[in-house]
Amino acid sequence: MNSLQKYLTLTQDRPYLFSYKGEKGEIKIITDEKRILAEQKKIRAKLKKEGKPSCWIDIGVLAEDQWFYILRDMVEFPDGRVGGYVRWINRKSEEGGGFNSVLMCMQGDKVLMIRKFRHEERNWSWEFPRGFGEPGLSAEENARTELREEIGVSNAKLTCLTKVKEGKGGTVVFLVEIPKGERISLEKHEGLSKFKWVKISKLEEIVRKGQLSDWFSLWAYALACCNWRINE
C-alpha cells in the first residue's frame, strides 16, 4: 500500500482527522482521490517549470511509527488556492488515550531546569521535564512515571494546571512540588546532561530575555503564574 492509499484508508477509518465545519476562514482538506490527483498533476507541472522537486506535492502518509503519523494533505485555502500542507499526529494520544505531561518542578522558590538534547533541533535546550504519555495510564500516573524515569523523583505533590484534550488522550501540565532533600538523578538514555535550580525571579528574567525557547516550558510557566495570581 503506497502513501496515498494509506492516507485514503485513514480518511475512512478516522474521518474526524479530516473534518471541515464550513466556517469562514477554515482550511478545507480535500479527501476525494480524483481531485487530489488532478490538483497534484497541476502543481507538479508548476514545480517542474520552476525547477523544484515534484515530491514537494506528494500527498499521503509520508512517515509513521508507533508514535506519530506525518501527513501531507491537499488543502483548499480560504482564498481558493490549493496546495499541500504537512502536519503530524500524535498516535499515543489520538489512538491510545495517552496523556503527555509537562512538569514544572519546584523546591521552595526554585524551579528545576534540565539540559536536554533535542534531536529535531540538533541542539541542547534548557527546559522543564516533559514526555509522551503511555496508553492505559492516567494523566497523574504518566506524570509520575516521567518524574521517575527522567529525574529519578518518586516522592512529589502534583497539582494539575491544565488538561488539553487530544483525541482519546491529551496533554496535562502539572506543578510539581519536590520535597527538600529529594535527590535529582538524570536518566542518561534520555539525552540529559545537566540540571539546575533557578529562582523564580531569575526564571522571570530568563523568560523576558527570550532565553527559554521550549514552548511547552513557557506554557507551564505562564499557567503557574496565573495559578499564583489566583491564589494570592
Instruction: Please tell me the distance from the alpha carbon of residue 80 to that of residue 56, in angstroms, as a whole number.
Output: 20
**Region of poorest pLDDT, from 54-58, 155-159, 173-177, 187-191:** 187-191
Query: 218 and 121: one domain?
Result: yes
The position carrying cell 489512538 is 95
Say which residue, 160 or 168, is predicted with more confidence. Answer: 160
Question: Structural domain of residue 36, as residue ranges?
Answer: 3-91
Query: 222 and 111: one domain?
Result: yes
Query: 24 and 109: one domain?
Result: no
pTM of the model: 0.83
Q: Please identify, among 47, 67, 91, the residue that sits at the C-terminal boundary of a domain.
A: 91
Mean pLDDT of the chain: 93
Query: 183 and 222: one domain?
Result: yes
Query: 119 and 209: one domain?
Result: yes
Q: Please identify, among 51, 72, 91, the residue that sits at the C-terminal boundary of a domain.
A: 91
Instruction: Please tell me the distance from the alpha carbon of residue 2 to that of residue 163, in angstroms, as a whole number.
Output: 36
- Residues 60, 6: contact at Cβ < 8 Å? yes
Q: Please identify, among 91, 114, 129, the residue that sits at the C-terminal boundary of a domain.
A: 91
